[in-house]
Structure 1
Amino acid sequence: MNFHVLKLFYYVAITGSVTKASERLHISQPAISAQIRKFERENQILLLEVKGKRMVLTPIGKRLIDPLEKLFAMGEQVQQIIENHHKFPEGQIRIAGNYLATSILIPRWASLFKQSFPEVKIQITTTNSQEVMEQLKNFEADVAIFSDMEFPSHHTDIFEYRELYKDEYVFVVAAKHPFAKQQVKFEEVMSEAFIMREEGSAARERLVRICEEKKVQQPRVELQFNGVNEVIQAVIAGYGVSFVSALLAKPYLEQGTLAKVDVENVVSNHSIWMGYRKKELKVSYIQSFIKLVMKQISINI
């Protein structure tokens, strides 16, 4: 079996085009196309076909995606373990978290872990929830901490997910804002200037979805930051409204520097999840980190 060609086909399938697969694999487009067509002729099958301007999978092409994903996921994991052994003989754990996780959750866990495993190197990456999952999927992270409204359903044959906290998104303003601690209609709050994270952040994606559900124009984002703490500081300074995690806003609400806005008929619950590869693909110190997190969660409940 020609696994090289199957890898070419797999990347064309998941990226949606030969061009994107070529850029990712650093192999010319003609070479990719020629090798896939040769494989199809040799096996008397058709994996891809062009419909209009799109390249789509044939029925047998679709059937191959799941087993190939498992195959290449394990192959990449093996390669990563070998590379990490040379770079970090004592071990390394890569944690990707959204801004909520890296602001108030991961620092404590990482500190406790290092006290027990001082020889293990810890790399922490902060980005939005969407990118966190991409890093886990692409083997750029070993553990992912992110926000989502529902149980993550994709790639459950490779990854495992645990719910860490239940949370909600709330509208917040500065303490002296006219909406502070007031009940207002959704349309009213949406007419205000907003301060938000970048597109792809969990809170912003959820707010857009609420707007679509209620058929209300999307928020007018006047200030945008790549970090949620920057968003909160801008709101505290007195300009605009934001939509943030209640867990993150809690200390500022208790201090009185932020105030919650009670928006009629809007309840937006979400959960904080931990994702990682299933047991057979994890090394001992990653298992130890996961156990530490779950123990800390049980202590704090």
Structure 2
Amino acid sequence: MVDLNKLRTFTVVAKEGSITKAAERLYRTQPAISAQLKDIEEDTKLVLFERKNSKIYLTKEGRCLFEYAQERINEIDAVVDCLRNHRQNLEGSIRLGVQFEVTTYLIPDIVHEFKKLHPKVRLEIIGLDHHDLEDGLLNNKVDVGLTVLLKQPSFFEKKAFYTFERSLVASASYLASLPPIKKYADIIDQEIIAGSSRLTDFRVWLKKNGQNQVVKQLDNVSKLVTVKERETIHSLIRKGAGMGFFDSFKLNEPSDEGEIIPVLPESKPITITVDITRRKTRTQNVLMDEFHEFLLERASNFT
């Protein structure tokens, strides 16, 4: 099997009649060009060139391969151009459902990169909590979702898009004002900042660290501030209003509001995975498939 890249190199050398000129045209070194020519001759078990002084001439077999290869390469290039034009000319609307508290910082890059590829496509970013997002996917109010939790996963196909950790932290100034926190139960009497009165992050974190007995005590928490917006939670923690969970990608952001340090640093953080999610049963749609493929291609950059 002859590598297409090497075959392209072969055709350029054949046209130029010179490795030096081919190297200049392809912005490659002469040894690299020579190595590819050698590989092609080894792969095909044919002598394709005759070398006389600094010139290169095609053999009978080389001329035959060149003419065939050039025709095939032109056909491939034409198909690629057609596909690029098709992608550039895609039109329509995509409704992307997201949980803003875990996907906010991902959205600008997704929108910017996709719109560069498909300038005529309209993107609607819909912020929902995980219950409404799942309902939106089930009822076709959302085309694709970036989800964290699914109650009915059997209805969906999903692929990990981004994984991060969430750790219990507080500002250094806030912790300095408290007696030392040495065990998990010590957090119950402190100022707690959370996304809901259910204290879901705290429950998951405590269970992950084998503290089921302390989970039961969360119902006794009295010093509590609940805020849905994670940016506000982060800001309150930085300002020393209490302890709460910080996302790993936010920990190193510059801030004038004070140093953030872990509470019980030996504890295991929560691991959160954001999935690209869509219904298993759906109407075939070229635009939606293109967007889904776009997200899948970028998943490896985040996981």
Q: Judging changes above 3 Å, is the alpha-carbon distance between structure 1 residues 230 and 109 closer, same or farther for their aligned structure 2 residues?
A: same
Which of 287, 291, 297 pairs up with 2:299? 297
Q: In 2, distance between residues paired with 1:221 and 1:145?
A: 33
**Which residue in 2 is equivalent to 1:133?**
134
Matched-pair contact (CA < 8 Å) for 2:168–2:269: no
Instruction: State which structure, 1 or 2, has the greater radius of gyration over its C-alpha atoms.
Output: 2
Kindly state the Cα deviation for residue 250 of structure 1 after the two structures are TM-superposed: 4.3
Q: Judging changes above 3 Å, is the alpha-carbon distance between structure 1 residues 146 and 258 closer, same or farther for their aligned structure 2 residues?
A: farther
**Which residue in 1 is equivalent to 2:23?**
none
**Which residue in 2 is equivalent to 1:192?**
190
For residues 241-265 of structure 1, give each alpha carbon's deviation from its aligned partner in whole angstroms, at most 9, with x where no partner exists. 1123323444369x96422223554
Q: In 2, distance between residues paired with 1:299 and 1:168?
A: 16
Which of 212, 235, 238 pairs up with 2:237? 235
Describe the SS at the equivalent of 1:139.
Answer: coil
Q: Residue type of the partner of 2:123?
A: I
| TM superposition score normalised by structure 1 | 0.58
**Which residue in 1 is equivalent to 2:168?**
171
**Which residue in 1 is equivalent to 2:66?**
none
Q: Residue type of the partner of 2:186?
A: E
Which of 207, 212, 227 pairs up with 1:214? 212
Kindly state the Cα deviation for residue 168 of structure 1 after the two structures are TM-superposed: 2.3
Identity, % of aligned positions? 18
RMSD: 3.2
Describe the SS at the equivalent of 2:147.
Answer: strand
Matched-pair contact (CA < 8 Å) for 1:186–1:263: no
For residues 139-191 of structure 1, give each alpha carbon's deviation from its aligned partner in whole angstroms, at most 9, with x where no partner exists. 2211111224xxx57242x42011122322211212322269x8742111232
- Count residues with an aligned counterpart: 205
For residues 226-250 of structure 1, give each alpha carbon's deviation from its aligned partner in whole angstroms, at most 9, with x where no partner exists. 2100111111111101123323444
Q: Is 1:142 equivalent to 2:174 in the alignment?
A: no
Q: In 2, distance between residues paired with 1:184 and 1:147?
A: 31
Query: Which runs of 5 or more structure 2 residues have no equivalent in the other structure?
Result: 1-89
Matched-pair contact (CA < 8 Å) for 2:138–2:279: no
**Which residue in 1 is equivalent to 2:113?**
112
Query: Which runs of 5 or more structure 1 residues have no equivalent in the other structure?
Result: 1-88
Q: In 2, distance between residues paired with 1:117 and 1:106?
A: 16
Kindly state the Cα deviation for residue 123 of structure 1 after the two structures are TM-superposed: 1.1
Q: Is 1:262 equivalent to 2:260 in the alignment?
A: no
Matched-pair contact (CA < 8 Å) for 1:252–1:258: no
Matched-pair contact (CA < 8 Å) for 1:183–1:264: no
